[in-house]
A and B are shown apart, each in its own frame.
Chain A
């Protein structure tokens, strides 16, 4: 066990930072906001942490805190600015935001290290602290998925007009989702940077946006569990199948396309639906209700429809 742990420590840590990044995209999605600003926050958090460590001489904890808070504030302000946009326009505006962050990093001169980025920002981050951070984040998100708040967020996503008329403030929830997205993205960026000790503008590109989206699409956007499933799949898949490592992009492309067509709720959504179906069938059987065969039911429905004509 410990042998396995030490030989895979990089992957274990990567799973958790990837999870945080994926969550920064998933949280806005849960209120119906298709925002990639979390990836931009990843860049801001990474750069802020690296700069405050190498230039400001700060320790690991303050550096991560600065990166997280700064990106949270920036993305929150971004959310206020683009509050009018919806759907694809909002998605592309946030992609543009992310890419602008990269251009700023390239042109930042000595401050951001230009195209070669920043080196030597090695923080003191243990796997245990990563686990604790992940658990705290996940516990917080679980609270937003359950009970009244969970149902409110579902209403905001599925039907904003209805939510408004029920007295749920759509604007408030959308703003909060930007703030949380910024915080999570910044946290992911700061942690990743201090683990690897470097950050370059090339890391904050369209490819990272695609990776984060892929994780959510395959895992499922309904819950943090989906993001976890996706993170595990995409961090570990290349190590399980050498074929995958060789043709990584191609395999991901096929997976994403198939998921977009056949799995609207992702792997987690599929598992949950199957479970619900199984349970309702069992409850019916136990209650002594004989379930008419689906084909038979269809035939009856067709016949009644014809008779109605």
Chain B
């Protein structure tokens, strides 16, 4: 049972991270390779602030969310918009957005690595203290509880918002056919910025929560999560938020099974193998819609 609980906590972190990526990729078609670095750098900025001022947890989270949103928006305005404006077709744009994302990602990573000398950092100075609850023989820290509530709550919330709200409908319309959507009066530019800001904020929240959960993270943590989030999105199906929720918990469960059976060094291979298997056997994912491609 304890393992199930641990898997659920891990899955919630994955979910918070992957949701932003899934949202941006599934709707406005941007696979943001700087998402992992946004995640890390938000936690890093919060760490810098928390070092000089002893802050309570909500303030630290707020700083991380804000930093993530600002970073992500800047990436969109300074890198992705110019790429889109210059690209000849969708295919070329896809590739160059991927490349621009990789380029952008190197910049905050280099700054953080240099300032920390690649050592892990945490919120040691924050006034927050984790409490441990025990019931029915299960151990649950208050951090894990917050992670679980935030992960599942925001996951369900965003899925629901995308389904019922007007902006959600407009976003989904962009995901299906961007040009027709624009013709129907959808503000593509504004929605793209808004989506990226939300995605960045989610990355920031995930970064800060993971730092609280593990007490410290390394500057490179974001890179691994990026590939895992890709596996989650592919598994759940591109464009489906419910798929991302399922994918997160499936991946977390599979990795926990590996850890419990003392196959820890193989745990990373799970996500890579999943990418492979899903793409080969069911390319549209569990809940994805089918795309028609001829060649």
Which residues of chain A have C-beta atoms less than 8 A from B91's C-beta?
Answer: 87
Q: Report the nearest A residue to B99, measured CB to CB.
A: A260
Contact with B along A229-269 (1 / 0, CB 8 A): 00000000000000000011110111111111110100000
Stretch of A88-96, A132-140, A186-194, A296-304 that contacts chain B? A88-96
Name the distance in Å between A249's Cβ and chain B's nearest Cβ: 4
Please tell me which one of the listed residues B83, B104, B234, B266 contacts residue A89 in the complex, with CB atoms under 8 A apart: B234
A84 and B86 CA atoms in complex are apart in Å by 29
Which listed residue, A85, A106, A206, touches B227 by the CB 8 Å rule?
A206
**Given contacts A93-B275, A261-B82, A161 and B98 within 8 Å (CB-CB):** no
Q: Is B140 an interface residue (CB 8 A)?
A: no
Question: Smallest CB-CB separation from A99: which chain B residue?
Answer: B272
The answer on a CB contact under 8 Å between A264 and B92 is: yes
Cβ of B119 < 8 Å from any Cβ of A? Answer: no
Given contacts A88-B31, A100-B272, A170-B295, contact A210 B114 (CB under 8 A): no
From residue B232, how far is it (CB to closest CB) to chain A in Å? 12
Contacts of A92 in B (CB 8 A): 230, 234, 275, 279
Query: From A34, which residue of chain B is reached at the shortest CB distance?
Result: B95
Which of the listed residues B105, B265, B276 has the most CB atoms from chain A within 10 Å of its own CB? B276
A164 to B294, CA, bound (A): 11
B265 touches A103 (CB 8 A): yes
Tell me whether B265 and A253 are in contact (CB under 8 A): no
Interface residues of B in 94-123 (CB under 8 A from A): 94-100, 102-107, 109-111, 113-114
Q: Are A260 and B79 in contact (CB under 8 A)?
A: yes
> How many angstroms between the C-alpha atoms of A247 and B107 in the bound complex?
10
Chain B residues with CB below 8 A from A113, complex form: none
**Residue B166, interface by CB 8 Å:** no
Within 8 Å of chain B (Cβ to Cβ): is A119? no
Say whether chain A's binding surface is mostly helix, strand, loop, or mixed: helix
Q: Are B276 and A249 in contact (CB under 8 A)?
A: no
> Which chain A residues lie closer than 8 Å to B283 at the CB level?
84-85, 89
Known contacts A103-B272, A261-B86: does B103 contact A255 (CB below 8 Å)? yes
Instruction: Pick the most buried of B95, B96, B266, B283: most chain A CB atoms within 10 A of its CB.
Output: B95
List chain A residues, Cβ under 8 A from B107: 249-250, 253-254, 257
B268 within 8 A of A: yes
Closest to A29 in B: B95
In whole Å, how far is B192's beta carbon from the nearest beta carbon of chain A? Answer: 16
B110 touches A88 (CB 8 A): no
Distance (whole angstroms) from the CB of B37 to the closest CB of chain A: 10
Provide the bound-state CA to CA distance between A91 and B268, in Å. Answer: 18
Q: Is residue A204 within 8 Å, beta carbon to beta carbon, of the partner chain?
A: no
CB-CB contacts of B251-278 with A at 8 A, as 1s and 0s?
Answer: 0000000000000011011011101100
Bound Cα distance A213, B159 (Å)? 35
Bound CA–CA A99/B226 (angstroms): 13
Residue contact B79 to A261, C-beta cutoff 8 Å? yes
- Verify B79–A257 contact, CB threshold 8 A: yes
- Please, how many angstroms separate the alpha-carbon atoms of A107 and B120 in the complex? 25
| Alpha-carbon distance A282/B259, docked complex (angstroms) | 69
Closest residue of B by beta carbon distance from A97: B276
B280 in contact (CB, < 8 A): yes
Which of B83, B99, B109, B272 contacts A249 (CB under 8 A)? B109
Complex formed: what's the CA distance from A85 to B82 in Å?
28
Residue of B nearest to A78 (CB): B276
Option from A82, A253, A261 in Cβ contact (under 8 Å) with B106: A253
A127 at interface, CB cutoff 8 A: no
Please name all residues of chain B whose beta carbon is closer than 8 Å to the beta carbon of A248 when the two chains form the complex.
110
Tell me the smallest distance from the CB of B238 to a CB of chain A, in Å. 9
Give the residues in chain A near B103, CB-CB below 8 Å.
214, 252-260
A253 x B293 contact (CB < 8 A): no
Task: Tell me the chain B residues, 213-228 only, with Cβ under 8 Å from chain A.
Answer: 223, 227
Most chain-A Cβ atoms within 10 A of its Cβ — which of B86, B97, B111, B275? B275
Ordered by A's residue number, 7 sampled pairs between the chains whose C-beta atoms are within 8 Å are A82-B279, A88-B95, A93-B275, A93-B279, A164-B295, A206-B227, A257-B104
Add 5 more A-B contacts to A87-B95, A103-B265, A107-B265 (CB < 8 A): A87-B91, A89-B279, A92-B279, A100-B272, A256-B106
Chain B contacts to A: CB under 8 angstroms: 31, 79, 82-83, 86-87, 91-92, 94-100, 102-107, 109-111, 113-114, 223, 227, 230-231, 234, 265-266, 268-269, 271-273, 275-276, 279-280, 283, 293-295
Q: 6 nearest interchain CB pairs?
A: A253-B106, A256-B103, A257-B103, A249-B110, A250-B110, A260-B100
